[in-house]
Amino acid sequence: MDHVHFMNLALKEAEIGGENHEVPIGALIVSHEGNIIASNYNQVITLSDPSAHAEILVLREASRKILNYRLLKTTIYVTVEPCIMCMGAIIHARVAKIVFGTYDPKWGACGSLYDFSNDNRLNHHPEIISGVCENECKQVIQNFFRMKRSFCGKYRNYWNTVGR
């Protein structure tokens, strides 16, 4: 599979999320034949749902499309390393492979903070491929938080009232 191609599509989803004032993380699920089953971006604020991470949204959509909660032989592409919540869901769904762009040292569960993929107590161990389009993925997230910090400094009262 062309990991760079699919990661670039995930980056486009992340950019849409950022334009909607969401943390710009994009994800997609691809079948073993190379067909995109689902794609989305973080929508925690939009949906008022703490579980509305890009990975969770694509897992839900893909499961509905194939009428099965097991997403066997699929690959999830995500711009930032999945968090502990998302890794739990990915493992439960039996996704075969996780491809991500940049590590998340504060929440990551694919090797930076935790490594659920190598935890022998769990019954599924997805293959992990990291660093695909790493610089681009890192740049998108860093630019978003840089802008947010700048905006918050100037418009702190507004930012607090809209919950962002």
| pLDDT at residue 164 greater than cutoff 70 | no
What's the rounded Cα separation, in Å, for the pair 76 and 95? 7
Other CB atoms closer than 10 Å to residue 45's CB: what's the count? 16
Catalytically active residues are: 55
Q: Which of 40, 41, 95, 50 is nearest to 68 (CA)?
A: 95
Q: Which of 130, 63, 61, 131 is nearest to 94 (CA)?
A: 63
26-30 sheet: strands from edge to edge: 36-41, 26-30, 75-80, 97-102, 127-129
Mean pLDDT of the 8-19 span: 97
Radius of gyration of the chain, Cα coordinates, nearest whole angstrom: 16
Q: What is the pLDDT of residues 99-132, one digit of tens each?
A: 999 999 999 999 999 999 999 999 999 999 999 9
Q: What's the mean pLDDT when you consider all of the chain?
A: 93
Which residues face 97 on adjacent strands? 75, 127
Hey, what amino acid is at 104?
D
| pLDDT at residue 146 greater than cutoff 60 | yes
